[in-house]
Amino acid sequence: MERMIAYCGLDCLQCPAYKATQAGDMSASAKVAEAWTEQYGEGEKTFSAEDTMCDGCVSESERKGIYCGLCPIRACSVGKGLENCAHCEDYACEQLTQFLDFASEAKKNLEEIRAQM
């Protein structure tokens, strides 16, 4: 099974924003934006379809979803030159642990990578 594991352990290929972007489906991107607004908008923030455009957190493309572009986990890994957090000597730091507490699939992916190292 092909995967694109983000720095945090999520599989970009399973992300609805990534899927919509790769399909060039602006209607699907708009639905993702609507869902993000409902889940994360905190009453004031609204997301647009353009905010969801993403070629994957680890891609060399400049096109990153708004969350990927602002993600402190991604910024840390990029700054350390890591493939993902599984390769970090500080695994699992407090910031990553807080994220993994609600992203069990990401934790599973990172643990699988660490087991193969």
pLDDT tens digit sequence for 73-113: 999 999 999 999 999 999 999 999 999 998 999 999 999 99
Q: What is the pLDDT of residue 40?
A: 80
Residues 6+ apart with CB under 8 A from 11: 3, 4, 5, 105, 109
- How far apart CA 73 and CA 52 sit, in angstroms, is 18
Q: What is the pLDDT of residue 41?
A: 72
Q: Record the pTM.
A: 0.88
Q: What is the pLDDT of residue 70?
A: 84
Q: Where would I find the beta strands (DSSP E) of the chain? A: none
Q: What is the pLDDT of residue 5?
A: 97
* 111 phi, psi to nearest 5 deg: -65, -35
pLDDT tens digit sequence for 49-61: 999 999 999 998 9
Q: What is the pLDDT of residue 42?
A: 72
- How far apart CA 92 and CA 41 sit, in angstroms, is 28
pLDDT tens digit sequence for 19-48: 999 999 999 999 999 998 988 877 677 899
